[in-house]
């Protein structure tokens, strides 16, 4: 968080006006994070607000609670170990001014680099393009971390009702059904790929019922792109089987879609999903004490 704070101070010193809303999801570090947040709230040169949860919601409520007190027109979501590039807010602002008149405009989405400055994910073959997350992932086959600056009312609507175990991809997929971003090849975020406690690096699995719901959501909401990105679709079906096994859910009773026979795919991929579930148990990846 200190590095993030320094990059925000640099943005403020460059003349950009914004507010910072920090959410402490019941940090288990003997109040070190809480003390740091309180210090930032008192000394920050820009408006800073804080929210403290009395129990851990595993990130599922952080965005929805923060957005209730946000006042800006656009929102960016940052983890404590993230930071912005020096030109990030300038890039977002210029492209918002250029494209905000566009029908169903949600915001701007840029690229990420790691701490060493290496690009993360598949390179764009364009400088700017209007599209949505489903096309970007399935048609253009872009993999890896992207970073959005989104209209506040859209974040407020589509991040509601997130559950522990859901990733932000759940919301981006829902947004993609109704809105489009301008995707730029400009780098706007420095992403810490070395944090072993991050969701992408952690091997522990919490809230398996909710994780199952998440993958079933992906199966049902990405079927339009089945033929363009079969590999991703089959991976989601495998994970549906995997987490259905952990949750005691009978996947055979699940209905598919007019374009896909979920029972047929389940039958074909069942051995793989079952093997992964057994590996989870053997390696102690599944965490007890789940909440809904």
CA distance 237 to 214: 11
Task: Read off the tokens for 67.
Answer: 């957005």
Task: Read off the tokens for 188.
Answer: 């706007």
29, 165: one domain: yes
CATH code of residue 158:
3.90.550.10
pTM exceeds 0.85, yes or no:
yes
In a domain, 197, yes or no: no
Express each pLDDT in 149-168 by its tens digit: 999 999 999 999 999 999 99
In a domain, 93, yes or no: yes
In a domain, 292, yes or no: no
CA distance 263 to 252: 6
User: Count of domains in the chain?
Assistant: 2
State the CB neighbour count (10 A cutoff) for residue 26: 13
15, 132: one domain: yes
State the CB neighbour count (10 A cutoff) for residue 81: 18
131, 35: one domain: yes
| Structural domain containing residue 57 | 2-190
177, 229: one domain: no
In a domain, 67, yes or no: yes
Tens of pLDDT along the chain (292 residues) come to 888 999 999 999 999 999 999 999 888 777 888 999 999 989 999 999 999 998 888 888 999 999 999 999 999 999 988 999 999 999 999 999 999 999 999 999 999 999 999 999 999 999 999 999 999 999 999 999 999 999 999 999 999 999 999 999 999 999 999 999 999 999 999 998 776 555 455 568 889 999 999 999 999 899 889 889 999 999 999 999 999 999 998 887 766 665 566 788 889 999 999 999 999 999 998 875 343 3
70, 180: one domain: yes
Let me know: does 234 contact 209? Beta carbons within 8 Å: no
In a domain, 289, yes or no: no
């Amino acid at each position: 968080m200190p590095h993030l704070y320094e990059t925000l101070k640099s943005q403020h010193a460059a003349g950009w006006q914004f507010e910072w809303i920090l959410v402490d999801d019941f940090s288990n570090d003997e109040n070190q994070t809480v003390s740091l947040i309180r210090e930032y709230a008192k000394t920050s040169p820009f408006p800073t607000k804080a929210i403290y949860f009395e129990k851990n919601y595993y990130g599922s409520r952080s965005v929805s609670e923060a957005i209730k007190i946000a006042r800006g027109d656009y929102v960016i979501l940052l983890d404590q170990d993230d930071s912005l590039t020096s030109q990030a807010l300038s890039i977002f602002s210029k492209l918002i001014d250029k494209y905000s008149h566009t029908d169903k405009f949600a915001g701007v989405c840029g690229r990420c680099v790691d701490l060493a400055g290496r690009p993360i994910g598949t390179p764009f073959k364009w400088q700017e393009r209007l599209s949505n997350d489903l096309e970007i992932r399935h048609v253009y086959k872009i993999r890896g971390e992207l970073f959005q600056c989104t209209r506040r009312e859209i974040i407020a609507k589509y991040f509601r009702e997130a559950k522990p175990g859901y990733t932000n991809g759940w919301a981006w997929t829902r947004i993609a059904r109704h809105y489009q971003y301008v995707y730029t090849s400009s780098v706007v975020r420095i992403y810490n790929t070395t944090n072993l406690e991050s969701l992408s690096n952690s091997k522990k699995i919490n809230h398996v019922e909710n994780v199952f719901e998440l993958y079933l959501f992906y199966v049902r909401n990405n079927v339009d792109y089945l033929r363009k990105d079969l590999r991703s679709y089959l991976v989601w079906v495998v994970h549906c089987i995997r987490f259905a096994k952990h949750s005691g859910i009978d996947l055979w009773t699940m209905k598919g879609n007019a374009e896909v026979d979920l029972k047929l795919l389940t039958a074909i991929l069942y051995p793989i999903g079952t093997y992964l579930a057994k590996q989870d148990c053997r390696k102690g990846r599944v965490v007890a004490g789940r909440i809904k």
